[in-house]
Chains A and B, each alone.
Chain A
Amino acid sequence: MITQALFRALDKKAIWLVAILLLVAVAVPASNLLLPVDSPFRLPNYAVPLFGKYLTFAMLALALDLVWGYCGILSLGHGAFFAIGGYAMGMYLMRQIGTRGVYANPILPDFMVFLNWKELPWYWYGMDNFWFAMLMVVVVPGLLAFIFGFLAFRSRVTGVYLSIITQAMTYALLLAFFRNDMGFGGNNGLTDFKDILGQSISAPSTRAALFAASAIALALAVLACSAIVNSKLGKVMVAVRDAESRTRFLGYRVEYVKLFAFVVSAIIAGIAGALYVPQVGIINPSEFEPANSIEVVIWTAVGGRGTIIGPIIGGVLVNVGKSYFTGAFPEYWLFALGALFVVTTLFLPKGIVGLIGQYRAATTKREQHDRDAPTPMQVEAGADPQPKPAE
Chain B
Amino acid sequence: MTGAGMTILKHLIGAMLLLSALLTAIPAHAQFADADLTTLVDALAPGSFKDRETAIGNLVASGDPRAVPVLETLLEGELYFDETGGKVVFTSASGGKGAISDPVTGADLSDLTEADLEKVKVNNSLRRVLRTAIGQMTLLSEDARVRLSAAQSVLRDADPAQLELLDSAISAETDVRIKRVMEQARAVIMLKSPEASVEDKTAAVPVVLAIGGRDALNTLTTALASAPDEIRPTIESAIDGLARDRAAWDVAQNVWFGVSLGSVLLLAAIGLAITFGVMGVINMAHGEMVMLGAYTTFVVQEIIRQNAPGLFDWSLAIALPAAFLFTGLVGVAIERGIIRFLYGRPLETLLATWGLSLIIQQAVQRIFTANIREVGNPSWMSGSFELGGLAITWNRFYIVIFALLVFVALLLVLKYTAIGLHMRAVTQNRRMASSMGIRTPLVDAMTFGLGSGIAGLAGVALSQIGNVSPNLGQGYIIDSFMVVVFGGVGNLWGTLVGALTLGIANKFIEPYAGAVLGKIIILVLIILFIQRRPRGLFALKGRSIEA
* Complex alpha-carbon distance, A176 and B519, angstroms: 9
CB-CB under 8 A for A338 and B357, given A290-B478, A298-B351, A386-B431:
yes
Query: 9 closest A-B pairs (Cβ-Cβ)?
Result: A341-B355, A387-B343, A338-B358, A338-B359, A172-B523, A334-B362, A338-B355, A389-B430, A390-B280
A6 at the interface (CB under 8 A from B): no
The answer to the question of A366 belonging to the interface, with a C-beta cut-off of 8 Å to chain B, is no
Kindly identify, within residues 157 to 197 of chain A, every residue whose CB is under 8 Å from any CB belonging to chain B: 157-161, 163-165, 167-169, 171-172, 175-176, 178-179
Q: Does A152 make an interface contact (CB < 8 A)? A: yes
Please tell me which stretch of A44-52, A90-98, A107-115, A342-350 contacts chain B, meaning at least 4 of its Cβ atoms lie within 8 angstroms of it: A342-350
Is residue B58 contacting chain A, with contact meaning CB distance below 8 A?
Answer: no
- Taking a contact as CB atoms under 8 Å apart, the answer to whether A384 and B485 are in contact is no
User: Could you give, for residues 423-449 of chain B, a 1 whenever the CB lies within 8 Å of some chain A CB and a 0 otherwise?
Assistant: 000110111001000001000100000
Asked if A259 is at the interface (CB within 8 A of a chain B CB), the reply is no
Give the docked Cα–Cα distance between A161 and B481 (Å). 9
Q: In the complex, which residue of chain A has the Cβ closest to the Cβ of B522?
A: A172
* A331-B365 Cα distance, complex, nearest whole Å: 9
Given A334-B361, A338-B362, A386-B431, residue A156 in contact with residue B534 (CB < 8 A): yes
Tell me whether A341 and B354 are in contact (CB under 8 A).
Answer: yes
**Contact yes or no, A388 B359, CB < 8 A:** no
Nearest residue, chain B, Cβ from A245: B545
Separation of A169 and B276 alpha carbons in the complex (Å): 21
B540 / chain A contacts, CB cutoff of 8 Å: 390
Bound form: Cα–Cα A74–B52 in Å = 87
**Are A390 and B490 neighbours in the complex by a CB distance under 8 Å?**
yes
A294 at the interface (CB under 8 A from B): yes
Contact of A342 among B352, B490, B535 (CB under 8 A): B352
Does B187 interact with chain A (Cβ within 8 Å)?
no
* A341 x B279 contact (CB < 8 A): no
In the assembled complex, B400 has its CB within 8 A of some CB on chain A: no
In contact, A157 and B530 (Cβ under 8 angstroms): yes
* Residue B532 CB within 8 A of the other chain: yes
Contacts A164-B481, A165-B527; A387 near B534 (Cβ below 8 A): no
Query: Which residue among A159, A245, A337, A387 has the maximum number of chain B CB atoms within 10 Å of its CB?
Result: A387
CB distance from B451 to the nearest CB of A (A): 13
* Interface size range on A against B: 35 or more
Which of A155, A167, A340 is B534 in contact with, Cβ under 8 Å?
A155
Q: How many A-B residue pairs have CB under 8 A?
A: 166
Q: Min CB distance, A70 to chain B, in Å?
A: 14
Q: Which residues of B contact A160 (CB under 8 A)?
A: 276, 280, 282, 346-347, 350
Min C-beta distance of B430 to chain A, whole Å: 4
**Taking CB as reference atom, which chain B residue is nearest A301?**
B351
Flag whether A119 is at the interface (Cβ < 8 A). Answer: no
Partner of B356, one of A74, A171, A290, A341: A341
Question: Contacts A161-B485, A338-B357, A388-B344 hold; do A175 and B520 have CB atoms under 8 A apart?
Answer: yes
Picked from A168, A245, A334, the residue with its CB within 8 Å of the CB of B359 is A334
Q: A165-B527, A245-B546, A301-B351 are in contact. Are A337 and B431 (CB under 8 A)?
A: no
**A160-B347, A390-B277, A390-B278 known; A167 and B478 CB under 8 Å?**
yes
Given contacts A386-B431, A388-B280, contact A342 B347 (CB under 8 A): no
A155–B347 touching, CB < 8 Å: no
Chain B residue with minimal CB distance to A346? B341
The reply to whether the CB of A339 lies closer than 8 angstroms to some CB of chain B is: yes
A340 to B357, CA, bound (A): 12
Asked if B342 is at the interface of the complex by the 8 Å CB criterion, the answer is yes
Check A335 for interface membership: any CB of B closer than 8 A. yes
Bound complex: CA of A156 vs CA of B530, how far in Å? 10
| C-alpha gap A179/B357 in the complex (Å) | 28
Taking a contact as CB atoms under 8 Å apart, the answer to whether A151 and B534 are in contact is no
Digitize A230-265: 1 where CB-to-B-CB distance is under 8 Å, 0 elsewhere. 000000000000000100000000000000000000
Indicate whether B374 reaches chain A with its CB closer than 8 angstroms.
no
The interface residues of chain B lying within 8 Å CB-to-CB of A331 are 362, 366
Q: Which residues of A contact B299 (CB under 8 A)?
A: none
**CB-CB under 8 A for A297 and B527, given A334-B359, A346-B338, A390-B277:** no
The answer to whether A337 touches B358 (Cβ under 8 A) is yes
Cβ contact within 8 Å between B526 and A168:
yes
Chain A hits for B426, CB < 8 A: 390
The answer to whether A390 and B430 touch across the interface, beta carbons within 8 angstroms, is yes
**B418 touches A (CB below 8 Å):** no
Q: How far is the CB of B276 from chain A (nearest CB, A)?
A: 8
Judged by a CB distance under 8 angstroms, whether B524 is at the interface is yes
Question: Which residues of A are found within 8 Å of B354, using beta-carbon distances?
Answer: 294, 341
Flag if B350 contacts A388 (CB, 8 Å). no
Complex Cα–Cα for A337 and B351 (A): 11
Asked if B531 is at the interface (CB within 8 A of a chain A CB), the reply is: yes
- Assess whether A171 is in contact with B478, with CB atoms less than 8 Å apart: yes
Q: Decide yes or no whether B348 CB sits under 8 A from chain A.
A: yes
Q: B residues within 8 A CB of A175?
A: 516, 519-520, 523
22 A-B interface contacts by CB (under 8 A)? A148-B527, A152-B530, A157-B531, A159-B346, A164-B485, A168-B527, A175-B516, A179-B517, A290-B478, A294-B284, A331-B362, A331-B366, A335-B362, A339-B359, A342-B352, A345-B348, A346-B338, A387-B440, A388-B280, A390-B276, A391-B489, A391-B535
